Amino acid sequence: MSDSNREQTIQKAESTPKTKTPKTTETGQPRVITASRFIQDSKKKELTPDNRLTTFDAMMADDAVYTAVNYTRMFIVKALYRGVVESKGSAKSDEAAKFINYCLHNMDYGTWWDAVNNMTTANIYGWSDLNLVVRKRAHGQYAGSRCIYKLSPRDQKSVYGWLWNDDNTEWEGLVQKPSLVKSKPIASRLTEGLRALATAQTYEKDYPILRSYQLIHVAYNATNNNPQGDSPLMHCYDAWYEKKLIEHFEVSGISKDLSGVLVVKVPSELLERAADPETYPEAAQELADIQQDAADMHQGKTTHILLTSDVDAATKTPLYDIELRGVTGGGGKNYMTSEVIDQKRKSIYNCFGAAFLLLGQNGAGSYALSSSQTSVHGQLVERDIMMYENVINTQLIPRLLAANGIYLDYEDMPVFKAADPDELSIDEIGKFIQRVKSVGALTPAMWKHLAKKGRLPEEGIDDIDFTDSASSRAGDGMKSPGQGTSTSVGGKDASSANTENGGSVSKSKTIACPETDRIFDLEGNIINANELDKEGNYK
């Protein structure tokens, strides 16, 4: 084979096929909508789209559901409220970030705190919508610019349906139920100059349409372009319903055990006639009255029941009688309702990664287990925060800038970054500073970062001398480490013997002999004798 042929063969082997370009039109559909106006994705009646919002409200009245949801939202709200819009370094990005931060904290109506609280209702209902309203500012450093007038929430229960494009592939907004309007106001001499009060409220005939570009829309953990998201309450519904049912049975059982079961005896003839109310209406009414009196007595609404004193002619026993019987059984149950309720409560908490909140409530639990479960909850909270950050960065910031005719590239577009939801404790910061400084690795920038994480003042950090001997006094005793009354490690010791580095300190006061490598305690006993041979050397 010639050199030219060999060269052609090598080129052919290394050549790659031409990359095909994607189409400019979409094929198929996400298939998340049906002929009805809502997504039909649940077989449970209570969780159908028309009923689930009311069901979620009922679930939030439960202590376990409310605690799990509210505890999780607390971290998210704190992180978003304390978050800031940061620049990417360019002059355009600096100015845009400054403007966005100004708008977030200088709304004409409402506050950023209100907006964050309304936005995070997506953790309950699966989605949330805020209507972004901008107006020209007439005062301040950004007078003449279109700033945020309000971020007005739209109640999830007010949504009538979702808007889709002609191909049902892209979500384009929502249709809201008719708005409430005030009737003709009545003027009052006492309220001159104030808004007059309306005597009643009516509904408009039109259904308002809100386009997607008017909304800050959050869809919780959504897939397949589902605008309703995936509420975590959907996944703890069974546990909540079973817990509620068992609690009802438990209360009912306690009530019967305390007050007994009321047994009412009536003649068999009365029961037979009452079964035919058309022929014997008086008998049916008499039986109904007795049953109602018994129910009222059991519920404590009445203190007595009036019955006739007639007796059977043959047996001489009363024809009508009442008896209060206690609950009898065959030696107890094979279960305890409290344990079942606790298990269902744990299942609810697990849906939010918050099962560690239960540790210690029953007198048991370990700190190690709590630490590992806390990290799981932290991961879920971090994911939710990233979801909200994405909504703010892709919807709120670009649209607010566009309202002012500002269109930035990715390199210049500022980004919103939430604060750390879990602040470092003073103890953790102190330990870290001690360890890093003991090896001479602490810098002013690092110290300032730690102060910011711990919400501590940064004044005076620049005055600290970071060029000293970098010694730590955390482990010093009354004398030098390893001698006399000193029982802890000091100086620059970063070994496992330092308890702050994860090790432990022996209670014995020891000293090593450099000539024989033998270890003695202060009383002269060799404490590593099992490692030495007869001659005193290591085996």
270-284, 366-380, 512-526: range with lowest mean pLDDT: 512-526
Q: What was the pLDDT predicted at 478?
A: 45
Tokens of 339: 């344990």
Contact 145, 414 (CB under 8 A): no
Contact 321, 265 (CB under 8 A): yes
Q: Between the CA of residue 364 and those of 71, 358, 359, 367, what are the distances in Å? A: 22, 9, 7, 10
CA 85 to chain centroid: 23
Helix axes 63-81, 237-259, angle to 10 degrees: 140
Alpha-carbon distance of 488 to 511, in angstroms, equals 13
Alpha-carbon distance of 437 to 439, in angstroms, equals 5
Higher model confidence: residue 327 or residue 429?
429
DSSP 8-35: HHHHHHH--PPPPPPPSS--S------S
Task: Write down how long the chain is.
Answer: 539
- Position 389 confidence tier, pLDDT thresholds 50, 70, 90: very high
Quick one: which H or E segment has residue 162?
strand 159-164
Average pLDDT value for residue range 504-510: 44
- Max mean pLDDT among 44-48, 222-226, 483-487 falls in 222-226
pLDDT in tens, 348-383: 998 888 877 776 555 444 434 445 556 788 889 999
pLDDT in tens, 7-49: 454 444 555 666 665 766 666 666 554 433 333 444 478 888 8
Q: Is the pLDDT of residue 315 over 90?
A: no
Contact 322, 290 (CB under 8 A): no
CA 233 to chain centroid: 11
Q: Exposure of 107 by Cβ count < 10 A (0-12 exposed, 13-18 middle, 19+ buried)? A: middle
280-294, 308-322, 349-363, 382-396: range with lowest mean pLDDT: 349-363
Average pLDDT value for residue range 403-409: 93
Q: Give, as one character, the DSSP assignment of residue 505.
A: -
Give alpha helix (H) positions in 299-366.
337-350
- Position 330 confidence tier, pLDDT thresholds 50, 70, 90: very low
Quick one: which H or E segment has residue 147?
strand 146-154
58-62, 420-424, 472-476: range with lowest mean pLDDT: 472-476
Higher model confidence: residue 361 or residue 105?
105
Tell me the longest C-alpha to C-alpha distance in the chain. Answer: 130
Q: What was the pLDDT predicted at 531?
A: 61
CA angle 207, 394, 406 (to 5 degrees): 95
Q: Is the pLDDT of residue 85 over 50?
A: yes
Residues ≥6 apart with Cβ < 8 Å to 124: 56, 60, 69, 231, 233
Q: Is the pLDDT of residue 396 over 70?
A: yes
